[in-house]
Structure 1
Amino acid sequence: MKATNTSLSRFAIIAGASLLLMAITAGFSFGYAHSKIVLLDDANTTLQNLIISKGLFQAEILGWCLILVLDVIVAWALYYFFKSVNKSISALTAWIRIIYSIILGMAIGQLMTICKLLEETSEGTAQIVMEHIQSFENIWTLGLIVFGFHLIGLGYLALKSKLRFWGVLLIVAGFSYSLVCTLKQFQSLESLAANLEMILSIPMTVGELGFAVWLLVRGKKRTAAS
């Protein structure tokens, strides 16, 4: 597909709107539903919460599935948006996000398994449920390491597009995701990871969400030659 001013505008709007919808959905699925239901240090209470709030848990899973679909859409739209800058790097960056999406899908599978477990609970169900919840979070965290490299790729493309502010911010956000989530893989470094996450949460959040707003407001005005 040849890049035109109209197509670039369309891809910018699709990517920006998808990123913002993804942020809202993640706020519900993880920020609200998951944190309301799951107590990692209390398996029995978590199981009771799941039984009582089964509908909310199912809504959480639907939210994650929507996020997965939006991730693929964003990968596609940003590939075409940056294709004229560097086709190879743009394609690589898109594929990295697709790989992240596959890992996220594997994590979502852990939550779907929990739904089946809730159909018939027994004495050991609480512990099994917690194992699947921990697996979900572990797999997702591994995926976020990959996601960090996607943001680094976007940052490089933004720099090549002379978007220095967004380029630097996206690269910082990407390194932050990959660093924090890598540290989380080591139990002895969990405290350090938590402290770094608090410090780096601003560039991690502003980098992607800010760029989403830019795509909607300014990105759609860019021309194929810029």
Structure 2
Amino acid sequence: MTITTDTTRRSAARIAGTGYLALFVLAIFANFVVKQGLIDTTSAAATVEAIRAQESLFRVGLAAFVIIFLIDIAVAWALYVLFAPAGRARSLLVAWFRVVYTVFLGVGAVFMFLGLQIATGTSSLGPEAALLMFEAFDFAWFVGLIAFGGHLVLLGVLIIRSGLAPRLIGGILIVAGGAYAIDTLAHVLVADYAAIAGVMLACVAIPSIVAELAFTIWLLLAGRRSSAVTREDVRVLAPQ
């Protein structure tokens, strides 16, 4: 039997909200500035040349992915604590899906480090092997994103059923989670994904940005209010 106080839930909301803000900044930098800015999926030689020319930037981007890995663990815990009053077992399932995604991101970071080692000449393998490592990062991340999509869908369902956060946010989270899952499967199933990449990016980016930004704002506000949720100030949670 666990007792979760209102203070604990407010702290969890602040941790989750602050974590989401940090994830936005770090993810934009690591993925769009560093990864997509330096890695050319059509040319192994160009990729290696770019990384060697800006090795420090690449290492900072890799460090950002590692920090994202750590922050996501804290966010998973915070969301579990915050939504435990809606059902400890259901909240734990939501957290586990996020942790699984986080583990795959960590595995991807290992591939990215190996690609860096090859690209900077600390191994006898050639540029093609370095690019293969970066592609392995992408695939590990894609597999993780299926779990992340599941996390968003389950979180959205939990919010709608419990009313512990605005139900509209829950609905948008479900749409965003479904978009992540569909996009990831499209990477695997569609031979010429590049032909639909622009459409899929819009389908994923729009609902995910709206949903997670709205959720972040709610978390930060919930962390400052006298009650992080509108239910009991102290609730005894029995296994559900």
Question: Normalized against structure 2, the TM-score is what?
Answer: 0.88
Q: Does 1:195 align with 2:199?
A: yes
Instruction: Map 1:2-41; keep pairs closer than 5 Å.
Output: 2-41=3-42
Q: Does 1:110 align with 2:111?
A: yes
Whole-Å Cα distance in 2 between the matches of residues 99 and 193 of structure 1? 25
Deviates more, 1:76-85 or 1:34-43: 34-43
Whole-Å Cα distance in 1 between the matches of residues 120 and 192 of structure 2? 37
Counterpart residue number, 2:64: 63
Are the counterparts in 2 of residues 3 and 224 from structure 1 also a CA contact under 8 Å?
no
Deviates more, 1:210-219 or 1:43-52: 210-219
Amino acid at match of 2:177: G
Q: Does 1:209 align with 2:213?
A: yes
Deviation of 1:34 after TM superposition, in Å, equals: 1.1
Q: Does 1:178 align with 2:181?
A: yes
Are the counterparts in 2 of residues 89 and 157 from structure 1 also a CA contact under 8 Å?
yes
Whole-Å Cα distance in 2 between the matches of residues 73 and 123 of structure 1? 38
Whole-Å Cα distance in 2 between the matches of residues 84 and 215 of structure 1? 16
Whole-Å Cα distance in 2 between the matches of residues 113 and 124 of structure 1? 11
Alignment RMSD? 1.8
Whole-Å Cα distance in 2 between the matches of residues 189 and 179 of structure 1? 15
* Pair 223,121 (structure 1): closer, same or farther in 2 beyond 3 Å: closer
* Pair 121,112 (structure 1): closer, same or farther in 2 beyond 3 Å: closer
**Count of paired positions:** 226
Amino acid at match of 1:29: A
Deviation of 1:199 after TM superposition, in Å, equals: 3.0
Deviates more, 1:66-75 or 1:162-171: 162-171
Deviation of 1:192 after TM superposition, in Å, equals: 3.7
Whole-Å Cα distance in 2 between the matches of residues 144 and 94 of structure 1? 14
Are the counterparts in 2 of residues 114 and 132 from structure 1 also a CA contact under 8 Å?
yes
Whole-Å Cα distance in 1 between the matches of residues 152 and 146 of structure 2? 10
* Pair 219,182 (structure 1): closer, same or farther in 2 beyond 3 Å: farther
Whole-Å Cα distance in 2 between the matches of residues 213 and 152 of structure 1? 19
Are the counterparts in 2 of residues 151 and 173 from structure 1 also a CA contact under 8 Å?
yes
Instruction: Map 1:89-168; keep pairs closer than 5 Å.
Output: 89-120=90-121, 125-162=126-163, 163-168=166-171
Deviation of 1:119 after TM superposition, in Å, equals: 4.4
Question: Normalized against structure 1, the TM-score is what?
Answer: 0.93
* Pair 120,193 (structure 1): closer, same or farther in 2 beyond 3 Å: closer
Amino acid at match of 2:17: G
Deviates more, 1:108-117 or 1:164-173: 108-117
Alignment partner of 1:225 out of 220, 223, 231: 231
* Pair 147,64 (structure 1): closer, same or farther in 2 beyond 3 Å: same
Whole-Å Cα distance in 1 between the matches of residues 223 and 15 of structure 2? 11
Amino acid at match of 1:76: W
Deviation of 1:89 after TM superposition, in Å, equals: 0.8
Amino acid at match of 2:171: V
Q: Does 1:83 align with 2:84?
A: yes
Deviation of 1:47 after TM superposition, in Å, equals: 0.4
Structure 1 stretches lacking a partner, 5+ long: none
Divergent runs of 4+, >6 A: none
Whole-Å Cα distance in 2 between the matches of residues 19 and 49 of structure 1? 30
